[in-house]
Amino acid sequence: MLHKILLMGPQGSGKGTQAEKLSQKLKIPAFGMGQLLRDEIASDSELGSKFSGILKSGELVSDEDAAEMLKQRLAKPDTDNGYILDGYPRNLSQYQAFNFDRPTQVFVIDVPREESLRRLGGRLTCRECGKVGSISTELQPGDTCPCGGEWYQREDDTPEAISRRLEIYEKDTAPVIERYEDLVCHVNGVGTIDEVFVRLVDQLK
Ligand SMILES: [Zn+2]
């Protein structure tokens, strides 16, 4: 069974976690473009050194270059039974660049804005390793991460900044979701990780 799955959802929807769980269940790789970009740069490939130069000069990698990187990644044999793309394409321009393959299913994890705000508003980041956690009785701003770094609340995790990002997500992804209409499956993202995962698996084709 070939699974070429796109996983979409706002920040705080838990799609990264769900992508990992699906990857384990289906035994196919899951990746996001940020990770692919970091891997490409670390690999010292031709494309990687090009990206490294672009990022060093403060520019952004073009959607065409990013798509070319993805195309090369999808040519590797570990994707023979499919793959899970986490958060891509996230706008119309990326959708148009992603013209060399067609997913078999597009999952949209829906989380109401208040819920995303609540989740992201309690988010802490480690200053050293960049790990993300949430404020709880066990974890508070100023605590120490296992790596030795300090947990802190990022400036862009303020309610205003989060609201703005969620608005951009909704505006940018709406036309993408529309174009994949026949493949789209909406999944309720409210609940525990396992509850949401069961809903996803139930809808797998
Ligand atoms: Zn850390």
User: What pLDDT, on the 0 to 100 scale, is given for residue 137?
Assistant: 87
Q: How many angstroms separate the alpha carbon of residue 127 from the centre of ligand 1?
A: 7
pLDDT at 171: 96
Q: Which amino acid is at 39?
A: D
Give the chain's residues under pLDDT 70. none
Residue 197 has which token pair?
A: 């995962």
Tokens of 168: 């951009």
Sheet containing strand 82-86, strands side by side: 30-31, 82-86, 3-8, 105-110, 184-188
Which residues place a Cβ less than 5 A from the ion ligand 1?
126, 128-129, 131, 145, 147, 149
Q: Are 4 and 98 in contact (CB under 8 A)?
A: no
Distance 39 CA to ligand 1 centre (A): 20
Domain that holds residue 130: 3-203
The pLDDT of residue 113 is 87
* Residue among 131, 181, 202, 137 nearest 6 (CA): 181
Phi, psi of 100 (to 5 degrees): -105, 0
Contact partners, residue 138, CB within 8 Å, separation at least 6: none
Where residue 56 sits, what CATH number does that domain have?
A: 3.40.50.300
Sorted by sequence, the CB contacts under 8 Å of residue 64 that are 6+ apart come out as 97
For position 114, what pLDDT does the model report? 87
Tell me the C-alpha distance between 54 and 79, whole Å: 28
How many separate domains does the chain show? 1
Residue 49's pLDDT is what?
A: 94
CA-wise closest residue to 205 among 175, 180, 184, 189: 184
Among 28, 65, 64, smallest CA distance to 45 is for 65
pLDDT for the residue 1: 84
Cβ 4 vs Cβ 83: under 8 Å: yes
Look at residue 122 in the predicted model and tell me its pLDDT. Answer: 86
Distance CA 78, CA 128 (A): 32
Cα of 151 vs centre of ligand 1, distance in Å, is 8
Residue 150 Cα to ligand 1 midpoint, Å, equals: 7
State the DSSP string of 3-26: EEEEEE--TTS-HHHHHHHHHHHH
pTM of the model: 0.84
Which pLDDT score is estimated for 134? 86
Count of H-run helices and E-run strands, the chain: 8, 8
* Amino acid 202: pLDDT: 97
